[in-house]
Amino acid sequence: MADDWNPTDPGVMRFPSGVLVRGRGLCHPLPPGPAPSFAVHLLGKEPPATAWDSRWVRWPDFRLPRDARQAREAFAEALARAAHERVEVACGGGRGRTGTALACMAVLDGVPAARAVEFVRRNYHPRAVETPWQRRFVLRFADA
């Protein structure tokens, strides 16, 4: 599709349904190529303004989202929009919170919760989902 990411670009992950989502750290410059059309920012403080549509999930570094229901809604919206738009999920460094969100989105896309962290580590970043409580969040995500 014309509005899709290049699947070989850094940070771009393909979900089982075929949709592509880019994960990244906001501490790094915006990668070359097209800008996202929608982003989910996972930060403890309000993110900087962007030229594209975005949602902020209040999520302190190394912790869990302040509002799990809001996070679930943002992940579901991102996954749905990724079918037709360039969607980006981003936190400060691009691994812990971003990896956790991508793992939760993988669960929404059909990956069993017990395999979602492994799926994201294999397809996005080998150190994604950094803390034990982030791994537990993913495991319990299907039941929430």
Mean pLDDT, the chain, as a whole number? 94
Question: 21: closest CA among 75, 93, 72, 64?
Answer: 75
Q: Domain 20-28+35-141 belongs to what topology? A: Protein-Tyrosine Phosphatase; Chain A (3.90.190)
As a whole number, mean pLDDT of residues 57-68 equals 94
pLDDT digits (tens, 9 = 90+) for 76-121: 999 999 999 999 999 999 999 999 999 999 999 999 999 999 999 9
- The predicted model scores a pTM of 0.96
Instruction: Please report, for the chain, the start and end positions of each structural domain, with discontinuous segments joined by +.
Output: 20-28+35-141
* C-alpha to C-alpha distances, 101 to 20, 22, 57, 60, 71, nearest whole angstrom: 14, 12, 10, 13, 8
| Strand spans (E) along the chain | 12-14, 20-25, 38-43, 53-58, 87-91
50: DSSP letter: -
